[in-house]
Chains A and B, each alone.
Chain A
Amino acid sequence: MTTAAGTRPLGIDPPGTVHVSHDHHELGFLRKYIFSVDHKVIGIQFLFTGLVMLLWGGLMAMAIRWQLAFPWTQMPILGKVLFPETGGVTTPEGYTMLFTMHGTLMIFFVIIPLLTGTFGNYLIPLMIGAPDMAFPRLNMLGYWFWWPGILCIIMAMGAEGGGPAAGWTAYPPLSTIEAAAPGSMSGQTWWLLAVTFVGVSSMMGAVNYVTTIVKMRAPGMTLFRMPLSIWGLLIAALLQLFALPVLTAAGFMQLFDRVFDAGLFTPTDVVINNTNPETMGQAAGGSPLLWQHLFWFYSHPAVYIMVVPAMGFVSDIIATHARKPIFGYKPMVYSMSSIAGLGFIVWGHHMFTSGMNPNVGLVFMSATIMIALPSAIKVFNWLGTLFRSRIELNSAMLFALAFVSMFIIGGLSGIWMAATPVDMYIHDTYIIVAHFHYVVFAGSVMAIFGSLHHWFPKMFGRLMNETLGKIHFFGTFIFLNGIFYMMHQLGLAGLMRRTADPYAYETYAALQPMNQFISICAFCLLGWQVFFVFNFFHSMFFGKRVGRNPWKSCSLEWQAPSPPGHGNFDHQLEVHHGPYEYAVPGAAEDYVPQTQPSPQVG
């Protein structure tokens, strides 16, 4: 046994301590479900809030798609809410607000909180055999720090003049000088506060995840016996710990620029709207490129925060539902780690055309092209896991297989963007949009759907409906490819993102039919989610009841009751081997739980 059992830091229960009699007094509704310190309740709070934000971000996407398909026409339903003063017609500044909000919501309020907030909170203690997080109150605070963020982003969108307008990347001087984007006004300031709040929330989560994983594993749970989900979450938390402070600092710098006219990102001699801000008492002498470096120093690792946990979940789903040990467990861990490590030295690939020293571009290109290697290794290992397995094609598995299939596309298209000369043509075109949606939507969101099907029985003690799950899967898979695959083609035709009405250009004149096709697929995709929403809520109350381990899975969370009570486990745990002992020859059943010693596995 090589766990940290010997070390007992202050305030942390020794690994394996079981709080069976910890909580026999009944908590009130508020303490139990609202201001809860239980990691499971907090995880589910993140889940519900995140799904609502997903709907909001999705509606923003629909508004964008309407404008691109039928520019400057009256948008049905949504238009009345978003643009009442024009009778539902998108305004140019409204369009910049739409894609700014879509990006910000999806990244900071949906994908990161759903992956790390929801599954990080829910799964980490259960999968490593701990009664709760290392710092339960900090955990609760992390969730509640999200709410000021949500309030700020609502304020941002509703701000006078039409909301933030500088894109989710918030490049100065557009974002820092109010005269540059008359629509933004206070919207950009609210936006900065929102991002700061969710950043602090993520930071609290990350501290908790790392501490819990390092210090609170059950006896026998060595690092290399942890499920890959936990590895993914640990690596994502480390990325957040190292990268988020940079974004927070940069955000404050931009806030100083906006509120105190600090001029940190404003160069001298700019003239905006025929006015030189310096003549109005604003400081200058800063550099707009500085923001890009700081922003991408966080936001590129953030891309991996948004996919590495998903890789872990998918590995667990595949091993369980294919009844086979993960092929190349350690290479999987090493490749996730090297994605994270390399992830810190590739940020410059967002800046190949930015005016940064082109020699530096070569360095970033080298690192970026090589980061494709660990991704490739992961794909091959998933295929190796599936080879000669027994695949059960249930909803969880279908979404996990979709992740693998879609991640291949998202990974491979990245190579074009890494290649500096090619990037000069495709930079900021729709092929980039296609690429990151294949990774984040077709990848991570599919993994989230798969994970919900997989861990739903643990969360609510009931199964999600398989028929509805499959119907949801088929439509989602078809429509998402209809949307995002075609975006590659638009990008190759040179279509720029963030362009409200591209068809005035000769180069883009022929692209409207393709954009209409994409938009119709997008509307169908959103509509199709009805199956998910109904299945999710219906199954929560009327799904088939199941016991502890409906999937006959090896990992520890399935040893707890479904749903687990406060303190998680009702018996002492000891871990004897890795989490993927399926199909062990000679074993009585085709899986050997981690808690069960077995002569056949080491």
Chain B
Amino acid sequence: MAQLKHLLFRLIVTALFLAVPILGVWTFVNADQMHVWFPEAVSSFGGEIDHLFSLILWMVGITFVATEVLLVLIILRYSRRDPSRSHYTHGSHVLEMVWTAVPALLLLFILFSQMGVWSEVKIAPPHEPSDPYSRENPLMRVYASQFDWRVRYPDEEGNFEGENVVESAYDIYVPVDTKVFFDLVSRDVLHSFYVPNFRLKQDAIPGMKVPVWFEAREVGDFDLICAELCGWGHYKMAGRVHVLPQDEYTAWLEGQREALYDNGSED
């Protein structure tokens, strides 16, 4: 009877620990149906970032399942009440070498696989002479402040100050399939420019102009979310990025400028 009880208890413990890898994998497989999976990636580097995520997901996923299942098997097998003693050993030099070297190589592989995309996004953006915008000649400047987003489009001379500067609050308009360069500025505390669909997040810091770029590959409206705690209204510091076809974007900007001239002449 005591033996049966112990067997039952071992099986319950085993099932509990086995549930971790099983349900763990199950949630990742079904995450899409449960609406807890990545929003669609629409930026040029979004796909690459998702790819890097999946690469790591496969590597850690296999390691996760393998080690958890090994732990479960060990728990099940060696929790038997066995009168004999444990195997007496203090370790194995060969095994230590193996399980140091193999993960080290895998980690180095992960490490080097990340550098290209990071460099592309943050260090050396790809740039061709035909691109209309660059770090030196940005499309816009984004100002974050408690608790709104404002964006300025420069006048024809590239100035961000002056009466011909187009301003927009909360809504950011950008052309599709174009490398959009912009400077990110905060007027007060820290904020962060986060567009989940672009896989892009960059903090806005008072006193600094941070250069940012993205290239949207699809037309549409996307959430802009503040991702750095900025005060009580942090949760509602929402904006929208409107990705327009090239001609619609040009028309929108022209329309805004004309409205400015009209207002100016009325004054």
Report which A residues bind B (CB closer than 8 A). Answer: 91-93, 95-96, 165-167, 171-174, 177, 180-183, 266-273, 287-289, 322-331, 353-355, 358-359, 361-362, 365-366, 369-370, 372-373, 376-377, 379-381, 383-384, 386-393, 398, 401, 404-405, 408-409, 412-413, 415-416, 419-422, 424-425, 427-428, 474, 477-478, 481, 485-486, 488-490, 492-494, 496, 498-502, 504-507, 510-511, 514, 580, 582-585, 590
Contacts and interface: CB of A to CB of B under 8 A. Distances in A.
Given A474-B16, A498-B229, A504-B236, A373 B91 contact: no
A541 B147 CA distance: 56
B165 interface: no
Given A389-B86, A505-B223, A272 B52 contact: no
B255 interface: no
B87 A388 contact: yes
Contacts of B111: 365-366, 369-370
B36 A511 contact: yes
A393 B103 contact: no
Contact of B205 (A181, A355, A428, A585): A355
Contacts, number: 319
A165 B230 CA distance: 9
B245 interface: no
Given A271-B188, A288-B190, A323 B103 contact: no
Contact of A419 (B16, B78, B110): B110
Q: How large is the interface on B (under 10, 10 to 19, 20 to 34, 35 or more residues)?
A: 35 or more
Interface in B35-49: 35-39, 45, 48-49
B88 A492 contact: no
A91 B231 CA distance: 12
Given A181-B232, A507-B196, A171 B86 contact: no
Contact of B190 (A173, A391, A488, A505): A173
A481 B78 CA distance: 25
Contacts of B196: 425, 494, 507
A183 B232 contact: yes
Interface of B: 9-10, 12-13, 16-17, 20, 23-24, 27-28, 31, 34-39, 45, 48-49, 52-53, 56, 59-60, 63-64, 67-68, 70-71, 74-75, 78-79, 82, 85-92, 95-96, 99-100, 103-104, 107, 110-111, 114-115, 117-119, 121-123, 145-146, 186-190, 192, 194, 196-197, 199-208, 210, 223, 225, 227-236, 238
B60 A365 contact: no
B118 A324 contact: no
B121 A478 contact: no
Contacts of A96: 229, 231-232, 234
A317 to B, nearest CB: 14
Contacts of A493: 35-39
B202 A353 contact: yes
Contacts of A381: 91, 96
A355 B208 contact: yes
Given A182-B232, A324-B86, 20 more contacts: A171-B190, A173-B190, A174-B229, A288-B190, A324-B88, A358-B122, A370-B104, A372-B103, A373-B103, A377-B100, A390-B86, A405-B20, A421-B114, A425-B199, A474-B12, A481-B20, A489-B28, A489-B31, A494-B196, A585-B85
Given A329-B91, A369-B111, A377-B100, A496 B189 contact: no
Given A171-B228, A379-B67, A474-B16, A424 B60 contact: no
Given A365-B111, A474-B16, A409 B24 contact: yes
